[in-house]
Amino acid sequence: MKKILKLIGLYALIYIVYSVIFVLLFHTGLLKGMEVLMYRGIVFIILTGILSAVTMAVVRKFWNFVTIRDIIMMFVIFCCVNTVLFVLIPVTVERSVSVFMLSYMDENSDQKFTQEDVQEIFTSKYVVDYGAFEKRFNEQIATGTLVDNGDGTYSITDSGKRIVKMFRMVADWFDTDKRLVYPNEN
């Protein structure tokens, strides 16, 4: 039982240390040119996941009850948990209409807003001033789901079509609002 508790403590310690390092990597210049937050985060998760597994391997040299399975599990657990947390929290914060709307209203809490006021602020500030559409459009070009035809027009790529098919499948599985995946249907 003592070995099991030591192993759980070891997993927790390594997980916490490398999760902190994962977050700190965003405050460095490393991969700053990678403009898609999701991709940058995934690279950092894999990097810190590998480091967590290497640390578990080093510990194995001193504690013989640490196995190869523990090294692999450290990597898998680290990457899985941090991917879920990363996508649910920072990626959502970066892309969320709700986060912008609530933050704007918080910074201007001395005012009252109509729904139309908030919609106008969202459109003028978030979409136009902050270039939300351009950012997402350029992300699609960078990820290869859209291609520049060279004449001022763009087309969806086969990769983009596969992603849309996957989005539609997920929308069906989880019964989400179909208007986002079938915008021409009412």
Instruction: Judge whether residue 95 has pLDDT over 80.
Output: no
Q: What is the pTM of this model?
A: 0.74
Q: How far apart (Å, rounded) are the C-alpha atoms in residues 14 and 9?
A: 9
At 5, list the tokens. Answer: 């508790």
- CA neighbor of 77 nearest in space, from 25, 158, 1, 19: 19
Looking at residue 151, its pLDDT comes to 97
Looking at residue 185, its pLDDT comes to 82
Domain ranges of the chain: 2-94, 96-142, 144-186
N residues, the chain: 186
- CA neighbor of 122 nearest in space, from 135, 137, 103: 103
* Predicted confidence (pLDDT) per residue in 104-145, tens digit: 999 999 999 999 999 999 999 999 999 999 999 999 999 999
Looking at residue 186, its pLDDT comes to 63
* Predicted confidence (pLDDT) per residue in 18-73, tens digit: 999 999 999 999 999 888 888 899 999 999 999 999 999 999 999 988 999 999 99
Distant-in-sequence, close-in-space partners of 17: CB < 8 Å, separation ≥ 6: 52, 55
Looking at residue 171, its pLDDT comes to 87
Q: Identity (one letter) of the amino acid at 163? A: I
Residue with tokens 């209203």: 105
Instruction: Judge whether residue 150 has pLDDT over 70.
Output: yes
- CA neighbor of 31 nearest in space, from 14, 19, 48, 15: 48
Looking at residue 180, its pLDDT comes to 84
At 155, list the tokens. Answer: 């087309």
